[in-house]
């Protein structure tokens, strides 16, 4: 799937192929975390392991207020306790399939929102 680049200074997604995400200046393997000015590959491989301790170092690199979680080809949902824990960090959270997550991330990024994307 191809995307159009939004802004060169931000980490907008150019394309998604299998387990690779192409940004304007780099390619990442999933799982990975992307925010407007920060990106990294991560070892968070499933929703069950996601908690505040794993999310805090990622979200603090580039202050975000929305987290989109791409869960692969099928949508999976966080446990309500996980949602509450993330919301207590001041971050709204939404889960969806990875292609939809990438499109939503680019859209929110173009609206100058403080958004993070976690692709599993």
Give the chain's domains with CATH numbers.
13-119 (3.40.1230.10)
Condensed to tens digits (0 to 9), the pLDDT of residues 30-70 reads 999 999 999 999 999 999 999 999 999 999 999 999 999 99
Condensed to tens digits (0 to 9), the pLDDT of residues 13-22 reads 999 987 899 9
Provide the whole-model pTM: 0.90
Condensed to tens digits (0 to 9), the pLDDT of residues 72-119 reads 999 999 999 999 999 999 999 999 999 999 999 999 999 999 999 999
Q: Strand, coil or helix: what is 41?
A: strand
Residue 108 is given by DSSP the state H
Task: Quote the CA–CA distance of 91 and 60 in Å, as a whole number.
Answer: 11
Task: Quote the CA–CA distance of 114 and 15 in Å, as a whole number.
Answer: 21
Radius of gyration of the chain (CA): 13
The DSSP string of 49-98 is G--HHHHHHHHHHTT-SEEEEE-TTS-----HHHHHHHHTTT-EEEEE-H
The answer for residues whose C-beta is within 8 angstroms of residue 73's C-beta and 6 or more apart is 97, 98
């Amino acid at each position: 799937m191809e995307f159009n680049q939004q802004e060169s200074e931000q980490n907008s997604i150019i394309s998604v192929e299998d387990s690779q995400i192409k940004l304007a200046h780099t390619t990442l393997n999933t799982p990975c975390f992307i925010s407007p000015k920060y990106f990294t590959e991560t070892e968070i491989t499933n929703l069950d392991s996601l908690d505040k301790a794993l999310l805090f170092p990622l979200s603090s690199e580039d202050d975000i207020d929305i987290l989109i979680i791409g869960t692969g080809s099928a949508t999976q949902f966080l446990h309500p306790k996980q949602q509450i824990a993330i919301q207590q960090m001041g971050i709204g959270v939404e889960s969806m399939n990875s292609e939809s997550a990438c499109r939503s991330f680019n859209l929110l990024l173009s609206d100058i929102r403080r958004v993070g994307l976690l692709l599993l």
